[in-house]
Amino acid sequence: MPINTDYLVIGSGIAGLRFALDAAQTGTVAIVTKKEKTEGSTNYAQGGIASVLDPDDSFALHIKDTLTSGDGICNEDIVKVVVEEGPRRIHELISFGVQFSHQEGQKKIFDLGREGGHSKRRIVHTKDLTGREVEKRLLARAEENPNIQLYENHMAIDLISKSTLIRRGIVTKQTDQSCWGAYVLEAETDAILTFLARITVLCSGGAGKVYRYTSNPDIASGDGVAMGFRAGVKVANMEFVQFHPTSLYHPLARNFLISEAVRGEGGILLDKKGNRFMESYHPLKDLAFRDIVARSIDMELKKTGDQCVYLDISHKGKDFITHRFPHIHETCLSFHIDITREPIPVVPAAHYMCGGLLTDEHGRTNLKNLFAIGEVACTGLHGANRLASNSLLEALVFARRAALRAAQELTAGKQEGFPQAPKWDPGSATDSEELVVVSHNWDEIRRFMWNYVGIVRTNKRLARAKRRVEIIQEEIKEYYWDFLVSQDLLELRNLALVAELIITCASLRKESRGLHFNLDYPSQDNKFWRQDTVIWK
């Protein structure tokens, strides 16, 4: 039997939970999430949420900083909407119980943080554990709501749309391009469930796992972009992969971020000999825009042959550091690095996907009844390089806007009856005995993406990556049809497709802009390329 719901939300990070809380006022909501309910980038967010909350700041300045960071291709209307709706969304979070840090002894004055590219202090945070606090409070609200049902360890495989059914050899009477829910793998039983929904919302986060080194948690395998693309959704700006300049460099540390807020509070980047180097790259020095800092570190490492650079905050003293950055302090200590006394070894790592499924000002994709919110979406806010801490803000603003629009579409759609779709048919697939193939392919993708489609690209490297990904895609295709699906295989299939989309967008853009730097076209071409890179199936 299919599971019927008004709204199907795929993902339980900030975007999915915030959307669900509003949507539950107008219908039933099923949230499917592929691992434990808190597992997603939201839970690991450190720096905070950017918004204009200080009388000394202004919307005009936040807009200007976002546009400058985006390097000429932000959608200015969207930037205005997000910045101006920001403070209301922050106050809503507070009404849900989120506790942000305040200045010492000042219960009403936020302790606003600063990060690269911001001309003012404007980042609300909960020390260096902002995401954990936001996730916890939103989740608590969602779990007490009788209209919301949360399905943990349920991984969406594919959207149910005309394209997906035809691809699976199923004849459909449906003529329009709409979405009616998703097929979902239940981890505990390996059963494939059919979720039928009047409105489907992809909130599945980013794709950092496509690179060998990343700040992202394991869930970030680009499932949403891959599912959307397969179903016929337009995808934009995938070449703009943001590399965070400072992730911890330690053989035992898996993807641990050292927040940009550390530099915002006076942290300084140093080379191995203890020399500052950012002043020779940009007038904003250590607080330059993220693309510039990551590229500068990359150049330093190539120039010196060193394995890492260093970030020093020790001059701020133990009291300040342990109060402001308790999580970073403790985590580094667990690796025997005392950040109150010594610099932190750091390297850049893939961090954020500025591109994604193309959406309008209400979070709608080009498929009827399908919305996309959060990191999976390309709304036009970030352009060629996201301004730090604008991502959680974007998710909050679009979750609200999408919920308002989806409620209208739900009412209109009710006259059309409930969507129908056949059960998942595994065909003649059998259990695989060679799962090792999956992990080999996975490793290979992450390696060549790091080596050929990383911070600095060339035409030759992109062509090499394209050839590699084509071969892997072929292997996956054979494998996919012969064997029963598993979570690893599904993630590999998505990862390979996302890699292909990044390579395609990067190869199309014949200039350098923001996060996309190609040595064969080192300058910006504002005559032709001041636009998004949009692709679809």
Where along the sequence are the contacts to ligand SIN (CB under 6 A)?
Answer: 46-47, 259-261, 352, 388-389, 391
Distance of CA 17 to the CA centre of its chain: 15
Q: What is the largest CA-CA distance in the chain?
A: 70
Beta strands in 167-257 (DSSP E): 179-186, 191-202, 235-236, 241-248
Residue 497 CB, shortest distance to ligand SIN, in Å, is 24
Instruction: State the SS3 of 450-512.
Output: HHHCCCCECHHHHHHHHHHHHHHHHHHHHHHHHECCCHHHHHHHHHHHHHHHHHHHHHHCCCC
Q: In what order do the strands lie in the sheet with 309-312?
A: 241-248, 344-353, 309-312, 268-270
Nearer to ligand FAD, 27 or 374 (CB): 374
Residue 202 CB, shortest distance to ligand SIN, in Å, is 20
Nearer to ligand FAD, 82 or 407 (CB): 82
Q: Give the side-chain half-sphere CA count within 13 A for 480.
A: 17
Let me know: does 126 contact 392? Beta carbons within 8 Å: no
Let me know: does 260 contact 117? Beta carbons within 8 Å: no
**Residue 203 touches which member of ligand SIN, ligand FAD, none, C-beta under 5-8 Å by kind:** ligand FAD
**Residue 33 touches which member of ligand SIN, ligand FAD, none, C-beta under 5-8 Å by kind:** ligand FAD
Closest CA to 489 of 170, 190, 189: 190
Closest CA to 257 of 327, 308, 206: 327
**Residue 42 touches which member of ligand SIN, ligand FAD, none, C-beta under 5-8 Å by kind:** ligand FAD
How far is it, in rounded angstroms, from Cα 219 to Cα 40?
6
Nearer to ligand SIN, 141 or 327 (CB): 327
Nearer to ligand FAD, 208 or 419 (CB): 208
Q: Which two tokens stand for residue 497?
A: 């497709």
Residue nearest to ligand SIN (CB): 47
Residue 318's CB is within 10 A of a number of other CB atoms, namely 13
How far is it, in rounded angstroms, from Cα 438 to Cα 396?
36
Nearer to ligand FAD, 298 or 375 (CB): 375
Nearer to ligand FAD, 71 or 135 (CB): 135
The secondary structure element, H or E, covering residue 392 is helix 391-413
Residue 206 CB, shortest distance to ligand SIN, in Å, is 11
2 DSSP 8-state letter: P
**Residue 365 touches which member of ligand FAD, ligand SIN, none, C-beta under 5-8 Å by kind:** none
**Residue 507 touches which member of ligand FAD, ligand SIN, none, C-beta under 5-8 Å by kind:** none
Let me know: does 245 contact 348? Beta carbons within 8 Å: yes
Q: Which among 18, 114, 263, 290 is annotated as catalytic?
A: 290
The three-state secondary structure class of 89 is: helix
Active site residue 290: yes
Residue 46 CB, shortest distance to ligand SIN, in Å, is 4
Residue 426's CB is within 10 A of a number of other CB atoms, namely 11
Residue 175 CB, shortest distance to ligand FAD, in Å, is 27
**Residue 441 touches which member of ligand FAD, ligand SIN, none, C-beta under 5-8 Å by kind:** none
Nearer to ligand FAD, 369 or 494 (CB): 494
Interface residue list for ligand FAD (CB under 6 A): 10-16, 32-35, 39-42, 44-49, 130-131, 155-156, 203-206, 215-216, 219, 223, 257, 352, 374-376, 389-392, 395
Q: Which two tokens stand for residue 525?
A: 């071409």
**Residue 356 touches which member of ligand FAD, ligand SIN, none, C-beta under 5-8 Å by kind:** none
Residue 244 CB, shortest distance to ligand SIN, in Å, is 6
Residue 482 CB, shortest distance to ligand SIN, in Å, is 40
Residues with active-site annotation? 290
